[in-house]
Structure 1
Amino acid sequence: MMLFIGSTLFGFALLEGLSYGLHRWLFHGILWPIHKTHHHPHKQRIEWNDSFSVIFGSLSALWFLIPHLIPLSKTWAVACTGIGTGWTIYGVIYFVVHDVFTHRRYFRRWKTDSKWVHRLVKAHRDHHKDLSKPGAEPFGLFWVDPKKYKY
């Protein structure tokens, strides 16, 4: 059980690190033509940038499939399942914080008193103030500078 919990936490943290790097250097780099649909105002419910969520969701599912596709020890199978669980939890929380509370794309009546969520919303909106390709910090979603964004 500890291996599963540890690998779940590791998977969540790993995806936040990967998301930061991908967002900063690829989404605001070579993938900007797709990602800019997220940074510029529009009236569509779906944007090209949503394709990245489909990719991350597929990769999350892959973590669950790996133990069935490759012969692994029970330890590695549990670790892969934990990482997949961490990625899935990340995706669900990302959707709620990013699409529901930050951009109000869905469930517009939902409100929260969570200071943590308000901190993340403010940080992400600061990121969106710069509409240029180079972009602006913070590029991550769940880790933001605690000195700049206080509860």
Structure 2
Amino acid sequence: MEIVFYILTVVVTFFFMEFMAWFTHKYVMHGFMWYFHKDHHQHEPGFFEKNDVFFLIFAIPSWLCIMLGMMNFNYYVTSIGIGIAVYGLSYFLMHDIFIHQRFKLFRNSNNVYLLALRKAHKIHHKHLGKEDGEVFGMLIVPFKYFKEARRTVSNKKSIS
């Protein structure tokens, strides 16, 4: 029965991380740590970005929770670390691979959610400066982008 609480802790942590990502993106990355995030909006040559430092900001607490939780047999803490890690993996897959194509995989999709996610992120990147930003979350997409994505999918189907 205890395993259910561990799994629930992973799931709750995963969804809490979406709020943390939104908050960090809006108030930290577009705030006092803009120096690191700027090259993500104003692309510079090279594969790596200063923005990649934010990977560590989230990976270190995850690693510490997993390691210290395992060392102390506190599997709730371990579950929190796993939830953070699963969110980080999801973020990496969606943001770096699917949206920004840092690795040339998963280029095309007719999935409404994925198209809405890509459109919302594109709207975020239309602002090159740290001010006037919008759509700071990652996995939760405002409904208006779902409408556009549904239209895109139905237009593709009607053309075929």
Q: Does 1:61 align with 2:57?
A: no
Instruction: Answer whether contact 1:127 1:135 (CA < 8 A) is retained.
Output: no
Q: What is the CA–CA distance in structure 2 between the aligned matches of 1:22 and 1:39, rounded to whole Å?
A: 16
Q: Which has the higher helix share?
A: 2
1:2-41 equivalences under 5 Å are 2-41=4-43
Name 1:110's counterpart in structure 2: 106
Q: Is 1:141 the counterpart of 2:138 in the alignment?
A: yes
Change (3 A) 1:46 1:145: same
3-state SS of 1:110 partner: coil
TM-score, normalization by structure 2 = 0.82
* CA shift digits 1:2-30 (9 cap, x unpaired): 11111011111121111111110111011
1:41-96 deviation per Cα after TM superposition (whole angstroms, max 9, x unaligned): 22210000001102211111111123256x5xx6xx22212211111111111111
CA distance in 2, matches of 1:26, 1:110: 30
* Structure 2: stretches of 5+ with no match in the other structure: 151-160
CA distance in structure 2 between the partners assigned to 1:79 and 1:149 by the alignment: 36
* 1:81-96 alignment runs, 5 A limit: 81-96=78-93
Greater RCO (CA < 8 Å, at least 6 residues apart): 1
Flag the 1:79–1:68 CA change in 2: closer, same or farther, 3 A. closer
The one-letter code sitting in structure 2 at the alignment partner of 1:133 is K
Q: TM-score, normalised by structure 1?
A: 0.87
Taking the aligned partners of 1:113 and 1:78, their CA distance within structure 2 comes to: 39
Counterpart CA distance in 1 for 2:139 and 2:133 is: 16
Question: What amino acid is aligned across from residue 23 of structure 2 in structure 1?
Answer: G
Q: Which has the larger radius of gyration?
A: 2
Q: State whether residues 28 and 135 of structure 1, in contact with CA within 8 Å, keep that contact through their aligned partners in structure 2.
A: no
| In 1, Cα distance between equivalents of 2:75 and 2:111 | 33
* Paired residues, number: 144
Q: CA RMSD in A?
A: 1.7
